[in-house]
Amino acid sequence: MISLGIESTAHTLGIGIVNEKEILADVRDTLKTEKGKGYLPREMFNHHLEKFNELLFKALDEAKIDLKDIDVIGFSRGMGIPNALRVGAFFARYISLTFNKPLVDVNHGVAHIEIGKWLTNSKDPIIVYLSGGNTQIISLVNKRYRILGETEDIAIGNAIDEVARFLNFEMPGGPKIEELAKKGKKYVEMPYSVKGMNLSFSGIVTYVKKLIKEGKYGLEDIIFSFQETIFSMIVEVSERAMAMLEKNEVLLVGGVAANKRLQEMFEIMCKDRNAELKVVPQKYAADNGVMIAINALLAYKHGYSINIENSSIKRNWRVDEVEIIWI
Ligand code: AMP
Ligand code: MG
């Protein structure tokens, strides 16, 4: 069975093709911005529209198949930027209609989780989903990915990018912040904001910007302390979730999972608890079409598809709104 997935929730347009066992194609293109600038929704829309055909045929070439060979088509329906989501949804519906293929709407967050499980052979983890738009501690309970803790304001990736933008770094700013943090040595006290199982990052971003402007501490030390603090907050909440649900596995997913210091901090916590840390391979931590294809295949194999009339995008579609019929 062959599944084609289209990812278009934000800056990346991705097309992936998989069968039950392997990845047949993985093509992506990410919108670039000028230094210090954020993404504009209409620029994402134009980018995805302009790139779609090229990427689709590249993916089909890579997989050595034709559109008629696919069994199911999946698209990321949300959560995401409406202008960006609409492009993927439009082409998915078009292919579904033209080639008479079943259509599966995929939740972007659930897809990040499923590709993480697929690639790391993770079974029943506490999932720590850290990306540009999401920060959630999740576990599967009664066929839903329940959100045990989450950010109350901005996502952790967003917080990192905001500091990076302030420093005029290219977007996404994560790798540059990680590099800079490595050079820091002295910890500067920062606001630490954990409320029960929830987190907050906007206060620390404001504080970091203020410290940078003041120039009292070295930039490397500030960024080091910023990173240490936000990652400690994540590890604390994740550990509490593990203890509460008696889980001995953690799965890190989302773009921020690529950070080596974050992984190291989780390693230390897991070792302490005799638990196992699994991290989605870096290449698949970022947004991609493969994860959408995998999720669509899982759902379709369990009898799920939707009608085009019911396939409008869902900008705020949370992971806990999806019934996980395939587990
Ligand atoms: P996603 O939304 O899942 O595509 O993830 C993108 C987010 O991950 C952006 O906010 C990036 O800045 C962040 N990111 C990527 N690499 C790193 C890294 N090495 N350290 C921290 N954050 C990162
Ligand atoms: Mg994502």
- pLDDT at residue 55 in the model: 98
Rounded Cα gap, residues 84 and 320, in angstroms: 22
Residues 240 and 272: their CA atoms lie apart, in Å, by: 13
**Counting beta carbons within 10 angstroms of the beta carbon of residue 229, is it exposed (0 to 12), middle (13 to 18) or buried (19 or more)?**
buried
3-state SS class at 81: coil
Q: What is the pLDDT of residue 122?
A: 96
Q: What is the mean pLDDT of the chain?
A: 96
Asked whether the beta carbons of 15 and 2 are under 8 A apart, the reply is: no
pLDDT per residue over 279-293, tens digit each? 999 899 889 999 999
Q: Coil, strand or helix: which one is 20?
A: coil
Whether the bond between 190 and the residue before it is cis, its omega within 30 degrees of 0, is: no
Ligand of minimum distance to the alpha carbon of 9: 2
Do 96 and 125 meet the contact criterion of CB atoms below 8 Å apart? no
Say how far apart CA 145 and CA 95 lie, in whole Å: 30
In the prediction, which pLDDT does 172 show? 84
Determine the atom of ligand 1 nearest the C-alpha atom of 130: 3
pLDDT of the residue at 298: 98
Nearest-CA residue for atom 21 of ligand 1: 174
Report how far residue 5's alpha carbon sits from residue 15's, in angstroms, rounded to the nearest whole number: 6
pLDDT in tens, the chain (327 residues): 999 999 999 999 999 999 999 999 999 999 987 766 778 999 999 999 999 999 999 999 999 999 999 999 999 999 999 999 999 999 999 999 999 999 999 999 999 999 999 999 999 999 999 998 899 999 999 999 999 999 999 999 999 999 999 999 988 899 999 999 999 999 999 999 999 999 999 999 999 999 999 999 999 999 999 999 999 999 999 999 999 999 999 999 998 999 999 999 999 999 999 999 999 998 998 899 999 999 999 999 999 999 999 999 999 999 999 999 999
Taking residue 21's Cβ as centre, other Cβ atoms within 10 Å add up to 6
Question: What CA–CA distance (Å, rounded) separates 239 from 12?
Answer: 32
* Nearest of 96, 97, 4 to residue 56 by alpha carbon: 4
Task: Compute how many other C-beta atoms are within 10 angstroms of the C-beta atom of residue 198.
Answer: 17
* Whole-number CA gyration radius for the chain: 20
Asked whether the beta carbons of 74 and 113 are under 8 A apart, the reply is no
d(CA 113, ligand 2 centre) in Å:
10
CA of 96 to the centre of ligand 2 (A): 24
Ligand 1 geometric centre to CA of 67 (Å): 32
Question: Quick one: residue 142, left, alpha or beta (phi over 0 = left, psi -120 to 50 = alpha)?
Answer: left
Q: Round to whole Å and give the CA distance between 201 and 233.
A: 10
Provide the terminal-to-terminal Cα distance of the chain, rounded to the nearest Å: 19
Nearest-angstrom CA–CA distance, 275 and 323 = 27
- Closest C-alpha to ligand 1, atom 16: 174
Domain ranges of the chain: 3-112+287-321, 124-284
Residues with CB under 5 A from ligand 2 (ion): 131, 287
pLDDT digits (tens, 9 = 90+) for 224-261: 999 999 999 999 999 999 999 999 999 999 989 999 99
Q: In degrees, to the nearest 5, what angle opens at C-alpha 262 toward C-alphas 258 and 267?
A: 110
- Within 10 angstroms of residue 272's Cβ, the number of other Cβ atoms is 9
Ligand 1 centroid–CA 304 distance in Å is 32
Atom of ligand 1 nearest to the CA of 112: 3
> What pLDDT does residue 36 have?
62
Q: Which fold, 124-284?
A: Nucleotidyltransferase; domain 5 (3.30.420)
Fold of 3-112+287-321: Nucleotidyltransferase; domain 5 (3.30.420)
The answer to whether 234 and 199 are in contact (CB under 8 A) is: yes
Compute, in angstroms, the gap from residue 250 CA to the centroid of ligand 2.
18
Residues with CB under 6 A from ligand 1: 131-133, 157, 160-161, 172-175, 178, 254-256, 258-259, 286-287
